[in-house]
Amino acid sequence: MNSMGQTGGGVTVRRLLLGSQLRRLRESQGVSREDAGYEIRASESKIGRMELGRVRFKERDVADLLTLYGVSDGAQRAELLGMVRSANAVPWWQEYTDVVPAWFQTYLGFEEAAGAIASYDVQFVPGLLQTEEYARAVIRLGSHSAPSAEIERRVAVRMRRQQLLADEAGPRLRAVLDEAVLRRPCGGPEVMRGQLARLLELADHPRIELQVMPLGFDGLAAESGTFSLLSFREPDLAEVIYLEQFTTALYLDRPREVAEYRATLDRLRTDSLTVEQSRGLLRTMLQEP
């Protein structure tokens, strides 16, 4: 079994694929979400969440939906019902539900399932690229009153996510950082020095492409704010834009919205320092007193 099959990302992919299959079957039969919900004693919105792969599936519900959608072939029913069992496996972050809100659990699944992640960050270094000390400082900034034990569990989640970098099947990362991220003394000078050194090290990673948007650039693309674009290896899965807010997040997958953000990323990469120039800036900053 490959590594993806052993991760929460594998669970997320199977949920997404099963949801996509159910949506296509429903639409091919001209069944409304409302009627599908009625069939399984649920709401129209639950059908929507099932089709987006954002809830656990009940085998009885899927069996009833397959009957409603006219799926009578035994082999096809068995395959789809088998996907229910594998899609309900427990991902690693279930151990941390006390410190990981439901809206971020969705992102963790997308992150592990992604074949490529592209991001633009204007405030902090992306979580996948943070040192433990920097992560601790960032988490403390947003959780002044949280007890130390909670802070450490949040740090542990961030460090656990970074196993993707060592996984040969992990995603390709393309990150654009506003230079202000590198200049902001999060955690103090020594913490920032360690973080800069880590970024310089990661700049040589075969699956990581790091660029810096220089201070003073006034291009329109810089007005977009922080966002991430997640792409998947499975052709049936649509790309997702992730917009994190203070206590929640937005997930956008409409083609027009995704296209706008993808175009913004292309402009940001064009307007930023090149990969080699960005390495040079990191080296220069590390030499500054």
**Nearest CA among 229, 280, 223 for reference residue 114:** 229
Please say whether the beta carbons of 110 and 242 come within 8 A.
yes
Q: Which stretches within the chain are classed as H helix?
A: 8-28, 33-39, 44-51, 59-68, 74-87, 102-113, 132-142, 148-161, 163-166, 179-183, 189-202, 255-271, 275-287
User: Residue 113 has what pLDDT?
Assistant: 87
User: Residue 4 has what pLDDT?
Assistant: 35
Tokens of 78: 């068995």
Q: Structural domains in the chain?
A: 3-87 (1.10.260.40), 99-129+161-287 (3.30.870.10)
Per-residue exposure over 218-229, b if at least 16 CB sit within 10 Å of its own CB, e if not? eeebbebebbbb
User: Residue 238 has what pLDDT?
Assistant: 86
Instruction: Print pLDDT tens along the chain (289 aa).
Output: 233 333 445 677 788 889 989 999 999 999 999 999 999 999 999 999 999 888 889 999 999 999 999 999 999 999 999 889 888 888 899 999 999 998 899 899 889 889 999 999 999 999 999 999 999 999 999 888 899 999 999 999 999 999 999 998 899 999 999 999 999 999 999 999 999 999 999 999 999 999 999 987 766 555 678 999 999 988 878 899 999 988 899 999 899 999 999 999 999 999 999 999 999 999 999 998 8
User: Residue 6 has what pLDDT?
Assistant: 38
User: Residue 220 has what pLDDT?
Assistant: 56
User: Residue 9 has what pLDDT?
Assistant: 57
**Separation between Cα atoms, residue 167 and residue 162, nearest integer Å:** 9
Tokens of 20: 């996509």
Please say whether the beta carbons of 11 and 109 come within 8 A.
yes
Q: Tell me the pairing of strands 114-121 and 172-178.
A: parallel
**Nearest CA among 200, 228, 225 for reference residue 213:** 225
Tokens of 153: 């569990």
Please say whether the beta carbons of 253 and 240 come within 8 A.
yes
**Separation between Cα atoms, residue 72 and residue 52, nearest integer Å:** 24
User: Residue 178 has what pLDDT?
Assistant: 95
